[in-house]
Structure 1
Amino acid sequence: MATNEEKTHTVEGLYRAQVATGELSIDPAQVKLARRLDQLDEQIFCADLAVKGSALGWLFGRKAEKREAIRGLYVWGEVGRGKTMLMDLFFEVSRVARKRRAHFHAFMADAQDRIHRARQAILAGTLKGDDPIRPVAVEIAAETRLLCFDEFAVYDIADAMVLGRLFENLFDLGTVVVATSNVAPERLYWDGLNRALFLPFIGLLGRHVDVVELSAATDYRMEKTDGDAVWSMPLGPETDASMEERWFRITGHRPSQREAIPFRGRSIDVPQACGGFARFDFAELCDRPLSAADYVQIARRFHTVMIERIPALDGDRRNAAKRLINLVDAFYDARVKVIASAAVAPDGLWTGSTGAETFEFTRTVSRLTEMRSTEYAAEPHLTGEGGAVGDEDEDGGYMGA
């Protein structure tokens, strides 16, 4: 029988501890999911205990026992219902030795880089075969038994084209996937280019994960609005002047300069940079052909980003809206602090009424709302998967805005 201390080191135990301190209000749907996550961790832990020999023997020898294939979880539901919070607790308490938690965009950027290196190695003759995806999957599986994704969403055609083959190999090698998303699997890559080629991945996902809808009662992020000081509107000369003054204040009146972030054989242009601060016009970020992976690189490089002149976006500017969705996801995951000027409040930025953007923008509004809160401002900048950067205030400090 589990002791009270043992129960505390579970998702449900940590969740109930936060309820007891008043940090959370108990929600039956969240409790049910917490128990499901605890059951999954127990299943993986016990299965791995039964595997004999080298931890990597199952990868390289036919006689070695192969890890048990275990169905993961795909948790979806409306924004702010606690999916990420429960994922955080699950990753914290999981006893799986090789585990990795990543934002999906960051994971795919890493995977695409590995695939590129594998292709180069095949061309150079240093890697046998003609398939760059299988060795990448073997490499990832050797590092990771449990792969946790937050905000599983597919927008990039390059990602869509490799997902099926990559994850077919990962599942074959025993990797267990736990993912959160705002959409059911069948809505992934909705209206995407050549979506018919992506549909087999949805079937693959259904064969290897259980789909769970989280229907908690409240959007917790929307309760945190208290940061109007970092979101200036409406647009006009007065707001422009205010943003100019704010930029000089947060950078300590130090000179800024153009910077280029090298990435995949090219450069991501940053019009104004000063230490950990960057300054962009909306058009420079969302009217240029930048990908989710590009935004991840910006998020890793800068702890505070000023974005000026964000307009309201209608159906004629779907591409800009999609890029803004990706941008906010990357910045939120890295806890980048955003100072913005906009035509309207976040909930008025998307004025279209049809298409996938209408659904996805709900998450963007929720995240922008939380990013304006004092709680978000107090969180450390993350340069990678869990890597916090301290001493942000040495560059002037976000709260000085």
Structure 2
Amino acid sequence: MPSVTELYDALVASGQLKEDAAQREVLPVLDDLVATLKEEAPAPSRSGWRSWFGGQDETAPEGVRGLYLWGGVGRGKSMLMDLVMEAAPIDAKRRVHFHEFVQEIQSGLNEVRKRGERDAIRPVANAVADKARLLCFDEMQITDIADAMIVGRLFQVLFERGVCIVTTSNRVPEDLYKNGLNRQRFVPFIGLIRERMEVHALDSENDHRQGRAGGDQVWFSPLNRETRAEIDAVWKELTGDRQTSPLVLEVQGRKVEIPEHLDRMGRTGFWELCGKALGPADYLTLAKAVDLLVLEDIPLLSSSNFNEAKRFVTLIDALYEAKIRVIASAAAEPEALYLEGEGSFEFERTASRLREMQDARWGSDPGQGQDA
């Protein structure tokens, strides 16, 4: 099986990737991680009585030291993680977006709590570890108090089981859940990351999501009569002026409705998706149900509509990860949608993703994945 470096070299030689010094620098670290995985014995099951009461088995392996790869948007972190997945010489491996993984854990915790378990996190973490020796998380972000309280304990058990974790993030570990509620309870998790994972900054000067050749227009701004007419024309062209019908998705007892739907294409407005109390599970379900989404009337974002803006960021994350084609009308270009107020820093990544998603090859270009 080829090494990470060999896979990277092949992509560069084929023209699918552009040589990048910062990416090249981290390749030996990734090669060492993969080589250690090959030598490491599988983690033993922790199904004994000690695992149910919070105890650590004496046989729990130290595990392969993981990797926390962080840096600015578009530097290629997710692409490198994909190469780790491809090169890892084991079957028990999984790559998943962090949002989606946390949703799975929340669902598992709810089921365990129904059984009255004293430690709900441990059996859920054990179930994860039983299936994967390598876990790759894309886009680690901690913005919710519930997630902050769960993640630290979860990772602790996964590390006890010898699971190797590779994750990407836009922030150095010390900035995770920055200024969050009860953050002092989260701080020990940062120490755990430093102890069990190598922290590496990807200091590339290049944003690989910029400068691509464009195709047909897919972003229409500002919001006015002309752009609304253009969106209508695009939708008519896509559907052939055929009759559409609503798409109703059932998500954890809720209904998420897309007003117009045909042949895995949907059309809806910003306020229908982001003005309601929807979350990652809803958007992930939507991303599995459509291949193309027309999203209309995206407003300027600021502290005055912070909750809606936060949902919009989560929506774009889900659509981006699933490689969904997005055609949108908005009050401004992506980079000018959110210029000030709480959340504007995090939106830089979203703006970069929206720019990449305008490329004509989005969803089919093998060179995509130079991710945030």
Task: With the length of structure 1 as denominator, give the TM-score of the two structures.
Answer: 0.83
Question: Does 1:335 pair with 2:327?
Answer: no
Q: Quote how far apart the aligned CAs of 1:284 are.
A: 1.5
Q: 1:209 aligns with which of 188, 197, 218?
A: 197
- Say if 1:224 and 1:369, in contact at 8 Å, map to a contact too: no
Distance across 1 between alignment mates of 2:215 and 2:352:
13
* 1:252 corresponds to: 240
* 1:140 corresponds to: 128
* 1:59 corresponds to: 46
**Alignment-mate amino acid for residue 180 of structure 2:** G
Q: Quote how far apart the aligned CAs of 1:118 are.
A: 1.7
RMSD: 2.2
Q: Quote how far apart the aligned CAs of 1:359 are.
A: 1.9
Gaps of 5+ in 1: 1-5, 49-54, 124-128, 381-401
Residue deviations 1:269-304 (CA, integer Å, cap 9, x gap): 333322312222111222222212221111112111
* 1:82 corresponds to: 76
* 2:353 corresponds to: 367
* 1:396 corresponds to: none
Q: Quote how far apart the aligned CAs of 1:228 are.
A: 5.6
Question: Does 1:179 pair with 2:167?
Answer: yes
- Say if 2:274 and 2:308, in contact at 8 Å, map to a contact too: yes
Distance across 2 between alignment mates of 1:346 and 1:91:
31
Q: How does 1:316-331 map to 2 (within 5 A)?
A: 316-331=304-319
Distance across 1 between alignment mates of 2:143 and 2:281:
11
Question: Does 1:349 pair with 2:337?
Answer: yes
Q: 1:197 aligns with which of 185, 207, 210?
A: 185
Residue deviations 1:228-286 (CA, integer Å, cap 9, x gap): 61111221122212212322321233332333321222222333322312222111222
Distance across 1 between alignment mates of 2:15 and 2:213:
19
Distance 1:161 1:251, change over 3 A: farther
- State percent identity of aligned pairs: 42
* 2:37 corresponds to: 44
Q: Quote how far apart the aligned CAs of 1:379 are.
A: 5.2
* 2:54 corresponds to: none
**Alignment-mate amino acid for residue 92 of structure 1:** E
Q: How does 1:99-248 map to 2 (within 5 A)?
A: 99-120=93-114, 122-123=115-116, 129-224=117-212, 226-227=214-215, 229-248=217-236
- Say if 1:47 and 1:67, in contact at 8 Å, map to a contact too: no
Q: Quote how far apart the aligned CAs of 1:372 are.
A: 0.5
Residue deviations 1:117-155 (CA, integer Å, cap 9, x gap): 2222x05xxxxx322211111100000110001111122
Greater mean alpha carbon deviation, residues 185-194 or residues 302-311: 185-194
**Alignment-mate amino acid for residue 376 of structure 1:** W
- Say if 2:43 and 2:133, in contact at 8 Å, map to a contact too: no
* 1:276 corresponds to: 264
- Say if 1:335 and 1:379, in contact at 8 Å, map to a contact too: no
* 1:97 corresponds to: 91
Question: Does 1:27 pair with 2:14?
Answer: no
Q: Helix, strand or coil for the counterpart of 2:210?
A: helix
Q: Helix, strand or coil for the counterpart of 1:222?
A: coil
Distance 1:289 1:379, change over 3 A: farther
- Say if 1:58 and 1:67, in contact at 8 Å, map to a contact too: no
* 2:370 corresponds to: none
Greater mean alpha carbon deviation, residues 196-205 or residues 90-99: 196-205
Residue deviations 1:311-347 (CA, integer Å, cap 9, x gap): 1212322222222211111110000110101111111
Distance across 2 between alignment mates of 1:289 and 1:195:
25
- Say if 2:216 and 2:360, in contact at 8 Å, map to a contact too: no
Distance across 2 between alignment mates of 1:274 and 1:190:
42
Distance across 2 between alignment mates of 1:276 and 1:234:
27
Distance 1:246 1:228, change over 3 A: closer
- Greater per-residue helix proportion: 1
Question: Does 1:11 pair with 2:25?
Answer: no
- Say if 2:43 and 2:161, in contact at 8 Å, map to a contact too: no
